[in-house]
Amino acid sequence: MRFVHIFRLIFLIFIPLFSQNDEIKIQTLDSTQIKLSLDSLLNKQNSIRIEYHLKSYDTRNHISSYKIKDSGKVADSLILICDNYFNDRIIKQILQPFENILIGEQYSIPSQDLSEKYYFINKLPSFKYRLFGEQNLAALLFLKPDFNSSLTGAFSFSKINNQFDFIGELDIDIENFSGNAEQLKFFWKKNKDISQKIKLKTFYPHVLGSEIGALFQYDFENYNAFYTKREKKIMLHTFFPILNNFKVGYLKGKILSTQSGQESGYENGDFLAISLNSELDTRNDRLLPFSGKYFKFMVDGGVDEKAMYFKTNFEYQLFLHVLRNTYTKIQTVSHTIHYLDQPVPKSRYFKLGGSSSLRGVDEESLLKTQFHILTLEFIQQQKRTLQIKSFIDLGLDRVANFKENLYGYGFGIKNVNDKIIFSIDYSLSSRRLESGKIHFKWSARL
């Protein structure tokens, strides 16, 4: 006599039950009550193949003893259910980790890996099971992808030397437009002068249905008529639980200085490097996160003309719940570049300042070979349509150099609905307390 859990819901009948490791005792000999009691136990189990085998019964004390056995079961079919369209090759890659493993708690590890591997999975998948035929079992994987195709614009105003400074940005992100979970990005930035930046980026997590992904990136910069820089990057991508989302590839760039740039100390450059990148994102939302963390570490090593150089970028974000509708964001960003046998060329310096780095400081007004920014941000009513935040950014040109630092601080208001996110930030800096900067940003879902 045995009872096997299939898929059904039976209300719990309160019969005294006593469990001892791999044995269960039921204080009744009535077959109907025993069946209801065992079914209620089966509904609470994570394993689909738990069985209860009759071991003994006591007619005097009206006790039935059953031995618990978990025979395990591998799904005969895996079915992905979600609202977004995926090509069959992508579906196969998503379901592949669940092949040949037992249904139940064993699914938790590959589920967590999926969330860490794919940028569009913020919530762990859920599962249901169905019988088809007489003996075949199907596992249904329910997934809610979080694709964020959007059009974003930003601009800021500040007054410098009795003149208004204007910065404008445009960012277009398109995701999963062909069902391959790909990302396409176009970014453009320009100030009132002739300085501008253009970035084109595309990422495919699975090339031709393989486990290898690919990233292609092109960057162009024209800096104050001093020089132009072009950089191309190609990287291969894969996922390892230890190395997270890991990319390896190479980049090649060229810097051409103008006459005025050379007179100002900007030199020509022709550089080539190997690039390594590790990234982990467990935030609950990429646009409006209030929990989880984000980690990114990149290393470039190569040659510029005949000089060897190393460049590192590090970013870490942590979101925590403080009290009721108040959340905090803790962030650290660190960028360094170092040449082994010569000073770092001025054209390779990092540009610091502005809404994307050190708020309150004039846009790209600081040139550094290394910098570190610590950010503390408090967000109120994060889950509602209106959000209020306050922030402080602390900038250091060397780690733990708190004597020579620069900080920006301010507050902002953000309005959120299903289609548009609009925000206004006002920021000041320790460099110019009498003059603030206003940042406007809007993002529309496509």
Domain ranges of the chain: 23-70, 77-143, 170-281, 286-445
- Mean pLDDT is lowest, of 171-185, 232-246, 405-419, for 405-419
Give tens-digit pLDDT for 22-42: 777 787 777 787 778 777 776
Spatial separation of the C-alpha atoms in residues 420 and 425, rounded to whole Å: 17
Cβ proximity of 283 and 116 under 8 Å? no
Tell me what the mean pLDDT of segment 351-366 comes to.
77
Sequence length of the chain is: 446
Tell me what the mean pLDDT of segment 143-163 comes to.
82
Whether pLDDT at 20 is above 60: no
Tell me what the mean pLDDT of segment 155-184 comes to.
83
Give tens-digit pLDDT for 181-212: 999 999 999 876 668 899 999 999 999 889 99
Q: Indicate yes or no: pTM above 0.75.
A: yes
Burial class (CB in 10 A: 0-12, 13-18, 19+), 310: middle
Query: In the sheet where 136-142 sits, what is the strand order?
Result: 77-81, 136-142, 126-132
Tell me what the mean pLDDT of segment 342-370 comes to.
84
Burial class (CB in 10 A: 0-12, 13-18, 19+), 307: middle
Q: What's the confidence (pLDDT) of residue 391?
A: 92
Tell me what the mean pLDDT of segment 404-432 comes to.
85
Spatial separation of the C-alpha atoms in residues 301 and 422, rounded to whole Å: 39
Between 407 and 251, where is the model more confident? 251
Out of 310-314, 386-390, 398-402, the most confident range is 310-314
Spatial separation of the C-alpha atoms in residues 382 and 18, rounded to whole Å: 46
Give tens-digit pLDDT for 417-428: 888 889 999 988
Give tens-digit pLDDT for 380-394: 876 667 888 899 999
Give tens-digit pLDDT for 281-308: 999 888 888 889 999 999 999 999 889 9
Tell me what the mean pLDDT of segment 300-328 comes to.
93
Between 357 and 257, where is the model more confident? 257
Q: What's the confidence (pLDDT) of residue 71?
A: 67
Burial class (CB in 10 A: 0-12, 13-18, 19+), 283: middle
DSSP 340: S
Spatial separation of the C-alpha atoms in residues 420 and 114, rounded to whole Å: 29
Spatial separation of the C-alpha atoms in residues 30 and 38, rounded to whole Å: 12
- Mean pLDDT is lowest, of 130-134, 225-229, 313-317, 415-419, for 130-134
Cβ proximity of 333 and 362 under 8 Å? no
Residue whose tokens read 């009550």: 33
Cβ proximity of 353 and 334 under 8 Å? no
Residue type, 24: I
Cα→Cα distances 154→3, 173, 255, Å: 63, 14, 28
Helix (H) or strand (E) holding 109: helix 108-117
The band of 47, judged by pLDDT with boundaries at 50, 70 and 90, is: low
Q: What's the confidence (pLDDT) of residue 285?
A: 86
C-alpha gyration radius of the chain: 29
Q: What's the confidence (pLDDT) of residue 353?
A: 78
CA 19 to chain CA centroid, Å, is 43
CATH value of 286-445 in 3.40.440.10, 3.30.1330.10, 3.40.50.1460, 2.40.160.50: 2.40.160.50
Q: What's the confidence (pLDDT) of residue 49?
A: 65
C-alpha torsion 10→16→21→24, nearest 10: -70
Cα→Cα distances 186→255, 351, 353, Å: 22, 21, 22
Q: What's the confidence (pLDDT) of residue 187?
A: 95
